[in-house]
Chains A and B, each alone.
Chain A
């Protein structure tokens, strides 16, 4: 992690590591939020602090937060979509070029955007430049904090292999978060993006975000009235034969507790 000319964006990075967030599967449980907060209270850099944590106006530094939106189509029901948001590790990251000290930088080897906490003067300009709200000033430490893509997990040989992914990805109970190289078209995350039409946030800002969002899948699309259950609800014969006959006999054999 050199200082000096690091706030020039690398012309190219060897890999484009990032996250794919599935808006169809996310249930809005905030496990990723807390997992991230916990991991980053212990490891990379200064701990994420809280102010007035037990008081009337608690607030604190979080790197990943989950919003909820309602989408009302022209026809049909409104849909609730849960929306996790953290640093998108943009290819053309405006937060890197505005930094006056070189504390904000993008790594050449994997494209991860990080803050060098000993160089950061806490001016906040990177947060002004970020359209996505990925950076927060930690009030206790006076430096800017952001998602590190768990750079201290993904290469950490002291962790079992299945844990060498970002903490939020590891913990998501719905399997809505995926991690990998978005620069490799054959990677699992790239396949997801092409299969599901993964999208950029605020593409008009020209940040070229690496993280992609998978839109909710279409729902409630049965055009004709298909009564799936109708054949099964037809009256059964008096003496059931075949499969039903077998089922009838098998049910009789089940124990029914203290009868």
Chain B
């Protein structure tokens, strides 16, 4: 799949933003006043910024409001509804914390649940697609959720919890790769079933239907060299998990240094998640590529 920058920015930033909102809703940390304001500002900047970024890949962003209507059948619609609900509920909770020093526990819990729900609906958009065997696995939502929770813990300053959650997310990422690398081969879909000619012999794509490019080739037949992908996996993994964990557990002298390292961990984690998200799209094989002999 073509890794569209807008979609990568969206899933990376909003995953982090909603993760942070979940922790805030759970009262971890329980903050009020100006400190709360800063936390919520960051969370909303990430969540709303991500959502806005996603509208840039639409053909008609001005009609995006229509996307709330099909929540009965469409995960993308459900995601829109969940996101807006979360932002509204947490806005109320945030208002209470910032202006009234209040902690409306039930509202916070609701907000946290909605936050996680939003990340889940985002993941399901990709998971539901049978056309991309690599994504069509229960591990996909686990990847999204674990990333979001780990990143949220990091942003929320949960010093003892974050390293564990990062390790968990890292482990899930490794399991995802191990399992889904064989997904297309094991899916039972190949050029033989795509053309229906498979039982007559070996099928080979000969002349393409057009000598130039088209939407299908540009969107769905993105090729990453295996060595290049492997390098990016290592880099992404290091940035998103290994280095942040190291920075969090290493003993630093002085609060200032500790905070600085924690901040660095956050930045490295964001870069790593973006890299891994890029790979999530770039390595996804859409079965339509079979028709072009590109798998």
Q: Do chains A and B touch in the complex (CB under 8 A)?
A: yes
With A59-B213, A85-B291, A101-B67 already in contact, the answer to whether A142 and B60 are too (CB < 8 A) is yes
Complex partner residue of A123 from B76, B201, B213, CB under 8 angstroms: B76
Is the interface on chain A under 10, 10 to 19, 20 to 34, or 35 or more residues?
35 or more
List CB contacts (< 8 Å) of A56-72 with chain B.
57-62, 65-72
Q: Is A137 an interface residue (CB 8 A)?
A: yes
- Interface residues of chain A, those whose CB is within 8 Å of chain B, are 3-5, 7-8, 23, 28, 33, 57-62, 65-74, 78-81, 83, 85, 94, 96-103, 119-125, 127-133, 136-139, 141-144, 199-206, 213, 215-216
With A100-B77, A133-B291 already in contact, the answer to whether A128 and B129 are too (CB < 8 A) is yes
Q: Is B160 an interface residue (CB 8 A)?
A: no
Complex partner residue of B70 from A99, A136, A201, CB under 8 angstroms: A99
With A201-B196, A204-B188 already in contact, the answer to whether A98 and B128 are too (CB < 8 A) is yes
A136 adjacent to B204 (CB under 8 Å): no
Complex partner residue of A101 from B66, B125, B195, B209, CB under 8 angstroms: B66
Q: Could you say which residues of chain A place their CB within 8 Å of the CB of B195?
A: 69, 81, 83, 201
Q: Could you say which residues of chain A place their CB within 8 Å of the CB of B125?
A: 98, 125
Residues 108-129 of chain B, each 1 if its beta carbon lies under 8 Å from chain A, else 0 = 0000000000000000010011
A142 adjacent to B59 (CB under 8 Å): yes
Is the interface on chain B under 10, 10 to 19, 20 to 34, or 35 or more residues?
35 or more
Q: Could you say which residues of chain A place their CB within 8 Å of the CB of B191?
A: 69
Q: Could you say which residues of chain B place their CB within 8 Å of the CB of A4?
A: 69
A-B contact pairs, 22 of them (CB 8 A): A60-B214, A67-B208, A70-B204, A71-B201, A72-B201, A72-B202, A78-B201, A96-B73, A97-B74, A99-B74, A100-B80, A101-B67, A101-B69, A120-B60, A121-B60, A123-B59, A131-B189, A132-B288, A133-B220, A137-B59, A137-B219, A143-B60
Q: Could you say which residues of chain B place their CB within 8 Å of the CB of A131?
A: 130-131, 189, 194, 287-288
